[in-house]
Amino acid sequence: MIKLHDKFFKPFISAKEIDEALARMVNEIANDIGDEIPVFIGILNGSFMVVSDFVKKYPKPCEVTFIKLASYEGVKSTEDIQRLIGLTQDLTGRTVIILEDIIDTGNTLNEVHRIFKNEKVKSLKIATLFYKPEAYKKDFKLHYVGIEIPNKFIVGYGLDYDGLGRDIPEVYQIKDTQHMTNLVLFGPPGAGKGTQAEFLKEKYNLVHISTGDVFRFNMKNETALGMLAKSYIDKGALVPDQVTIDMLNAEVEKNADANGFIFDGFPRTNAQAEALDKLMDSKDSQINAMIALEVDDEVLVKRLLERGKTSGRKDDANEAVIRNRIKVYYDETAILKDYYTAQKKYFGVDGIGSIEDITVRLSSVIDKL
């Protein structure tokens, strides 16, 4: 990931993929043109890298020039009349191929066709390395397209964000993580994690995803993933991480417009944490913090034994079992604490006190993310 000014961008198209796309375009155009000498025209500023690499690959004689479109001074309408800078040669009877770096709305093509209409060219063809079909609103034919891409902002390979990024040999896509708050909430048995998750869910309008609840839902409703998970459980085997991730992905997809998520019970290993990072990255988002409620062991034991008197859970009534559950928690959390600390995303919060006090402490962490 890279940062340009105030925006983050993630890797999108590699230099190898760009090179392969250019090679395909070169072959198509060379075959169509035959032995005729075409005039390749790049539109500045963005197309300089495309044109440079394209003509290096072109196997036959050709001419190359660049033009720039600029608004006439004093024109204030939304449909600014354009003037052409840089075109000096006579193109009468010539085959002209416009080499664009990217075509989205097609507004530039509107001006190109208007301008070249008076040049008496033999034919005018449009070639573009990148094309956003979702954004294209014109009827002009695109004769050669390298790579179709989603309608998201990209930088690199001649394309810039406020002046930066043109020099990057690969293409990066904007990564929009500002609008979501995604938390991994941890706490030992008896820390009150479930209670706090409910408060935080309401306060920040987040979706609470409990791995246990997700598993029970999928198996009860006999979804494909639920049946797959059950097949492992019935054999006494561990459910593969990918099955769990696929279940979580389905929950995230169901709540695509959420302000963020509280992940409860997942991850529990480094491999799972990495998988969760990849899942969120695929959604143009990220885990903002791992927040762990910290409570003294003796307080936990006392709380759980008290809870055991009314909960009916056998594991809340046996002190040895309780202490073992706490030990397992610390063993798991220690690994994840290191993982998220390395990313400066780990936050320990005092879990002793009233429910309201603990909520205030958690909120003070979240509000600073």
Q: How far apart are CA 336 and CA 317, in angstroms?
A: 28
Q: Please indicate if the annotation marks 327 as binding a ligand.
A: no
Task: Indicate the residue type of 62.
Answer: C
Q: Which residues contact 14 (CB under 8 A, 6 or more apart)?
A: 170
Which of these, 102, 96, 146, lies nearest to 118 by C-alpha position? 96
Ligand-binding annotation for 267, yes or no, is: yes
Handedness of CA 103, 104, 108, 109 (dihedral sign): positive
Q: Is 83 annotated as a binding residue?
A: no
The catalytic residue positions are: 193, 268, 307, 313, 325
**Using an 8 Å Cβ cutoff, are 187 and 220 in contact?**
no
Query: Cis before residue 267, ω within 30 degrees of 0?
Result: yes
> Is 192 annotated to bind ligand?
yes
Longest CA–CA span in the chain (Å) reads 94
The CA dihedral of 119, 120, 122, 128, to the nearest 10 degrees, is 30
129 CB-near residues (< 8 Å, 6+ apart): 18, 21, 22, 25, 50, 100, 101, 102, 146, 147, 157
263 appears as a binding residue in the annotation? no
211 is annotated as contributing to ligand binding: yes
Rounded Cα–Cα distance for residues 341 and 346 (Å): 5
Which of 132, 121, 106 has the alpha carbon at shortest distance from 43? 106
Task: Give CA–CA dist 188/323, Å, rounded.
Answer: 10
Query: Is 266 flagged in the annotation as binding?
Result: yes
24 is in an annotated binding site: no
CA dist 187 and 362 (Å) reads 12
Residue 236, annotated as binding a ligand: no
Gyration radius from the chain CA atoms: 29
Annotated binding-site residue? 216: yes
Residue from 103, 91, 83 nearest 65 by CA = 91
Is 353 flagged in the annotation as binding?
yes
238 is in an annotated binding site: yes
The answer to the question of whether 137 is labelled as a binding residue is: no
Does the annotation flag 325 for ligand binding?
yes
**Tokens of residue 64, six digits:** 């190359």
Q: Angle of helix 193-204 relative to helix 355-366, nearest 10 degrees?
A: 50
- Can you say which residues are annotated as belonging to the binding site for AMP? 211, 216, 237-239, 265-268, 272, 313, 325
Residue ranges of the binding site: 190-195, 211, 216, 237-239, 265-268, 272, 307, 313, 325, 353
Known binding-site residues for ATP equal: 190-195, 307, 353
